[in-house]
Amino acid sequence: MKTLLVVAGAVVALFLTIAQFGTAGWTKPPILAQQHGFRGTGMDQIQTKAGAAALKAANLPPAPADPVEAGTEKAGAVYENVKVLKDLSVEEFNRLMTSMTEWVSPEQGCTYCHNTENMADDSLYQKQVARRMIQMVQHINTSWKEKHVGEAGVTCYTCHRGQPVPANIWFQNPGPNYKTGFIARNNGQNMASPSVGLASLPYDTLSEFFGKKDVDENLIRVNATTALPESKGKPIQAAERTYGLMIHMSSSLGVNCTYCHNTRAISNWSQSTPQRTLAWHAIRMVRDLNGDYIEPLTSTFPPNRLGPTGDAPKLNCATCHNGQSKPLAGAHVVETYPELAKSTAGLATAPSEPAPQAPAPPP
């Protein structure tokens, strides 16, 4: 009898195991795998077909507005108080304004930025911010064209996606209130912050790496560059912050480490992919934009648009990429809006500095 029960139990266990692995939760979904690096290194990008399809559907660029025939009258001569786009023809200006409404405030319409009783009025903060954002887009498409955005460029929609406030912004994170006493601090970790992919890594990594324009060029690097130590090394906390940044970039682009790095030699530029150079410039571009275009608007934003420490909403990798290695799947969105691919007459802008050079591979 005892033997019979043992056999029966084994049969039931086997049946349940087979049934469990045959259900949807245990079925391997259709996979898309793309080799992205050197043969034999495992430098592949892995996605589920369903996930890739959903991501593609969520990142479709809008259809551009119908082209217009430019007239001879300039917007600055016809309309009052046009400061940034005054050199456009009236037709080009109106087309861009219509497109910006669809990109940023399709539900609110023109009144989101304008007082329709007096279109020249600057009392709405949204209008003041929009002026600076137009200049920022032009800056990206000119100063950062060669080093990062290429021919695809960006428009307001790249970040806003039909919303007045982009979904992927960030503020300084002061963390929770702590009690005093023994081991009262956790080094800003173990709070499962979305900015570091919900990992147990420092939750305010972005403030250190993206919040300031002028930082030490070696701030991110934690690997030694010599076989034997020549100076005091960096603490483990620095490595955790760097890893938090890498996790942020990985989740923002929907890729893994091997999209940029050969994991047999993470720090070696000669064994890295070209995307690593693009990412190197992207880090500096984000600092440039936050420092010269976003932070100076802090006093312009109302209190409800500021973070818990009173800082302005800032951008990061996810703001444009939204889970894709190329924003909007690499669509050339600026092609049909050439006025956003050049610096037009307007407000005083921050000095346009040439994009820095990435480190050269070792000989």
- Is the distance from CB of 78 to CB of 61 less than 8 angstroms? no
Taking the CA atoms of residue 90, residue 95, residue 101 and residue 107 in that order, the dihedral angle to the nearest 10 degrees is 110
Residue 316 tokens read as 């990061």
Is 248 assigned to a binding site? no
- Is the distance from CB of 81 to CB of 120 less than 8 angstroms? yes
Is 100 assigned to a binding site? no
Q: Using alpha carbons, select from 45, 203, 105, 144 the residue that is nearest to residue 343.
A: 144
Is 43 assigned to a binding site? no
Is 97 assigned to a binding site? yes
Number of Cβ within 10 Å of residue 86's Cβ equals 17
Is 160 assigned to a binding site? yes
Dist CA 77 CA 185 (whole Å): 60
Residue 356 tokens read as 């820095």
Is 332 assigned to a binding site? no
Is 159 assigned to a binding site? yes
Dist CA 97 CA 158 (whole Å): 16
Is 191 assigned to a binding site? no
Is 139 assigned to a binding site? no
Number of Cβ within 10 Å of residue 58's Cβ equals 11
Is 119 assigned to a binding site? no
Q: Number of helices (H) and strands (E), helices first, in the chain?
A: 10, 4
Backbone angles phi, psi at 216, to 5 degrees: -60, 130
Dist CA 343 CA 345 (whole Å): 7
Question: Torsion-angle region of residue 43: left (phi > 0), alpha (psi -120 to 50) or beta?
Answer: beta
Q: Using alpha carbons, select from 134, 149, 166 the residue that is nearest to residue 349.
A: 134
What distances in angstroms separate CA 51 from CA 30, 33, 130, 173, 315, one per listed residue?
Answer: 10, 13, 34, 30, 25
Backbone angles phi, psi at 276, to 5 degrees: -65, -40
Q: What residue ranges in 81-153 does DSSP mark as E strands? A: none
* Residue matched to tokens 């060669």: 146
DSSP letter assigned to residue 89: B
Annotated binding-site ranges for heme: 97, 110, 113-114, 133, 148, 156, 159-160, 246, 257, 260-261, 317, 320-321
Annotated binding-site ranges: 97, 110, 113-114, 133, 148, 156, 159-160, 246, 257, 260-261, 317, 320-321
